[in-house]
Structure 1
Amino acid sequence: MQAKSILLTGGALLAATSGALASGFQVGLTGAKNVGMGGTGTGLYLDQASQFFNPGAFAFAPTGFQVGGNMAIPRISFRPGDADSGQRTLQNTNVFPFSGFVGFGPKEGKWRLGAGVYTPFGSELHYQQGWEGRYALTDINLRSVFGQVTAAYAITPQFSIGAGVTTLLYGDVDLQRDIPVQAQGSTSPAHAQLTGKADHKVGYNLGVMFKPSEKLSVGLSYRSAVDAHVSGGDIALTGIPASAAGSFTAKSFDVTLPLPDVYSFGIGVRPNDKLTLAFDANLVGWSRYQSLDFTYSGGVLGGNASSSSKRQYQDALAFRVGAQYKVTDGFSLRAGTFYDMACVRDGFVTPETPDADRIGFTAGIGYEFAQRFGIDASFLFEDFMKRSQSQDDLISNGTTDRVAGTYKTTIAVPGVQLYVKF
């Protein structure tokens, strides 16, 4: 048995902490106003979430505090290569990403200082017992929290710059899969469980904004790549037969995953005092992720002291459009749509990331009272295209450590946010 098939899903935690806005493992859920407008934000300065989308735009944002949360409701199904065998539906579990930001500075001043925390992604999936891909993955549970401190300065009333330092504050993973060996007299195969915590890693977020007029704003931002690392992750094995015990003695693992950088461009247009239109484009540098490599401590796993699993991701584009309309001074309506291109190539799809081109639709409302306090609500629906790969594809690509078949995914995400302006 190849050791690479035992831990091939281990990098999902790391990728989940990247904070990218397109493809791969991410659902962009930072800022309810932004979510309601299709995930746009690079060319806007709606609120404190500008620290995430474009630190340069933060120089023009109002000061204040905001906190919000979402409930991500995924639905993923799998149909094996033999269509006559029927569809497998996951025991999907809801997860609850959140974000919070605070910003300070003189009301009419040129500078802003801020801080925030956010969860770029969290996931919990449980595949049906005995499913065809059980030797690649049976269960996955991911959690991650990022922090950011930000400073922005308006060099002129039309041009501003900003920078943020980002830190992976917390990340952990629980991954499980069956092993195709079985003890004598047992009715179930052996089982592997991997648990680990990600090391704290630091990156940065840069942005600029240009406002040629009060009706037009243009923004650029860059979020740096990060090499995430899990060191000393635990390996727990059960049901290993005595005859194979000598090949499964590893107790821990180390793995490093190169996470992508993100380039973003955005435009904000305000035809009048009531209407705001926005467009964003994101380029995510997933091509850094070509393989998932493990080293094992305390022995060997599957007869090997290290393993490698092909990924060969490609850079991915995303396009977003959104709008906000102020019905009254205190009440706003929002809507948007987006299209994200897959970073996973044909024949390289894995159970922990059944990635595909996807289209999304969003909506939102906002209510502000006393010109200081407010609440925003958002809703996002994301529909992934069907993604299929055959056994011949896997053999041709050398990716037989995963399973042939067709994946179909949808995600629904309601969210709410409270804020106060200083």
Structure 2
Amino acid sequence: MNKTRLFKRSLLAVTVTLATQQAMAAGFQLNAQSATGLGRAFAGDAVIADNASVMARNPAAMALFDKMELSLGFESITTMIEVKDATYTGVGSISDTDDVGGTSVAPNIHLIVPVNDKFAWGVNAYTNFGTRTEFSDSYAASEYGGTTDVKSANFGLAGSYRLNEQLSFGAGLDIIYGQGTFKRSTSAVIQSATGIPQGTALVDIDKADGWAVGFNLGTVYELDENNRFGFGYHYSPEFTATDDKGQEITLPLPDIAEFSGFHKITDTSFAVHYSVQWIGWSAFDKIEMRKLDGALVGTSYDKQYQWQDGWHYSIGGTYYLNSDWTLRAGYMYDTSAQDELTSISVPDSDRQWLSAGFTYEIDDASNVDFGFTYLIGKDTKVNESVSLGAAGTSVSATTRADAILMGLQYSRSF
């Protein structure tokens, strides 16, 4: 009995770590700050400053406003995930599945308040990180499937200072709230190897949550009213979440840096804009799970992960059709965070973003934005294994993850 209990506790620690790593490696980062940005694949978003949502990418851009600005909206994210051609230890081929993904909604709100021609401050709430997949209870390789659901909310306070007509600086605090649900259970293969009944919970963490504090910095350089550049940097802290069973899961979040440019072509109604964003996924080296008294849960698990830094390259165009309508479109190439280690539970690959959107001016002080993106992934070969005592299993498959993102937003100046 003691041997079985030790096995279950050890496999719990390994599987929680596996579950969380999969969420991290699958591009845990979300671009959900604004519908405006979504409609141009977030090209130029650290410097365009067409509404208050720019403060989420670059606090220095608040210096570009001379009136109080409010933006609020939401983004819906629908993932279409396919796992096919899978082979599982002791079973052979297992059924394809295409219902792993789902739809989630990420709201956002941003407020910028200029104090004078030098200073401005702002507050906002949005999300930088999140992912969700849910496999059927009947999925044969249940120790690799199950449910992975990670959500976060970023509450920000920032200020900006205009040094002169060309140069502005900004800085802010990010208070991050995170919540995670991870569920995995034993398969028939594990039952035959250990005697633990099929369907026994290996991981049953429901809404583990916690808080962390980060910061952001930025600068804007204006050549003139039609040409400017921006740079923003977000420091993301190590994050600890606690469940109701008294366990702590600690994982690092990636830092993010972005360079953007905006150029309105003289004597035309067209502007071009672009961004290069770096996401520091290589900082994700290990996850430790501990009891609240500091003791490791199960056996010590300290594995080095082979994540790589991610990059976003985006370019877009804006056409100012008339005083009522602004049209925009963009393209992004988004590189995978996974390298040698891959996963079936939240598939990842290099992706392409095809985006379009518009702004409609309700009156001189308010407008509404709509943005749409079709995110195209690619087929990726995945191999995973868990080796613990007599219950070593492995799974290989081909995965693909596409997504549809839609955003709606209302903005007003005062």
1:240 counterpart residue number: none
Distance, in Å, in 1 between the alignment partners of 2:372 and 2:54 is 19
Give distance in 1, aligned partners of 2:278 and 2:155.
22
Residue 223 of structure 1 aligns with which residue?
234
2:374 corresponds in structure 1 to 381
Q: Are the equivalent residues in 2 in contact too, given 1:15–1:257 (CA < 8 A)? A: no
Amino acid at match of 1:69: F
**Structure 2 residue aligned with 1:89:** 98
- Give TM-score, length-normalised by structure 1: 0.84
**Is 1:411 paired with 2:414?**
no
TM (normalized to structure 2)?
0.85
Q: Pick one of 138, 144, 150 that aligns with 1:142.
A: 150
The count of corresponding residues between Structure 1 and Structure 2 is 390
AA paired with 2:103?
N
Residue 33 of structure 1 corresponds to: 36
1:354 to 344, 347, 350: 347
Letter in 2 for 1:213: D
Match of 2:167? Answer: 159
Residue 46 of structure 1, CA deviation: 1.6
**For 1:311-368, what per-residue CA distance to the aligned partner results, in whole angstroms no more than 9, with x for missing partners?**
321112110111111111121111001011111113x113443221111111101111
> Residue 382 of structure 2 contacts residue 399 of structure 2 at CA under 8 Å; is this kept in 1?
no
What is the RMSD of the two structures over their aligned residues, measured on CA atoms? 2.9
Which of residues 334, 350, 360 in structure 1 aligns to 2:328?
334
d(CA) in 2 for partners of 1:148 and 1:352?
31
Q: Which residue of 2 aligns with 1:51?
A: 55
2:278 to 283, 286, 292: 283
- The answer to whether the 8 Å contact 1:294/1:308 transfers is no
2:132 to 124, 130, 137: 124
Q: Give the Cα separation in 2 of the matches to 1:13 and 1:286.
A: 12
- The Cα of 1:292 is off from its aligned counterpart by 2.1
Unaligned stretches of 5+ in structure 2? 1-6
Residue identity in the other structure for 1:315: D
Superposed CA deviations along residues 277-300 of structure 1, whole A, max 9, x for unmatched, are 111001111111122222246999
Counterpart in the other structure of 2:3: none
> How far 1:228 moved relative to its partner?
0.5
Q: Does the 8 A contact of 1:133 with 1:351 survive in 2?
A: no
- Pair 394,386 (structure 1): closer, same or farther in 2 beyond 3 Å: farther
What aligned pairs does 1:65-214 form with structure 2 within 5 A after superposition? 65-82=70-87, 85-105=94-114, 109-168=117-176, 170-180=177-187, 182=191, 188-191=198-201, 192-214=203-225
Q: Who is 2:301 aligned against?
A: 307
Instruction: Label 1:401 to 1:215 Cα distance change in 2 as closer, same or farther (>3 A).
Output: farther
Cα pair distance change 1:167/1:186, threshold 3 Å: closer
The one-letter amino acid paired with 2:232 is S
Contact residue 165 and residue 203 of structure 1 kept, 8 A: yes
**Matches of 2:350 and 2:102 in 1, distance apart?**
23
SS in 2 for 1:27: coil
Residues 23-72 of structure 1, C-alpha deviations (whole Å, 9 max, x = no match): 72123121111111111212322211111111112210353111001111
Tell me, in whole angstroms, the C-alpha distance in 2 between the residues paired with 1:133 and 1:214.
58
CA shift, 1:9, in A, is 4.4
* Paired AA for residue 163 in structure 1: A
TM-fit CA distance, 1:14: 8.6
In structure 1, the residue matched to 2:412 is: 420
Structure 1 stretches of 5 or more lacking a match?
17-22, 235-250
- Please give the alpha-carbon distance, in whole angstroms, between the structure 2 residues aligned to 1:182 and 1:299: 31
What is the alpha-carbon distance in structure 2 between the residues aligned to residue 86 and residue 185 of structure 1? 25
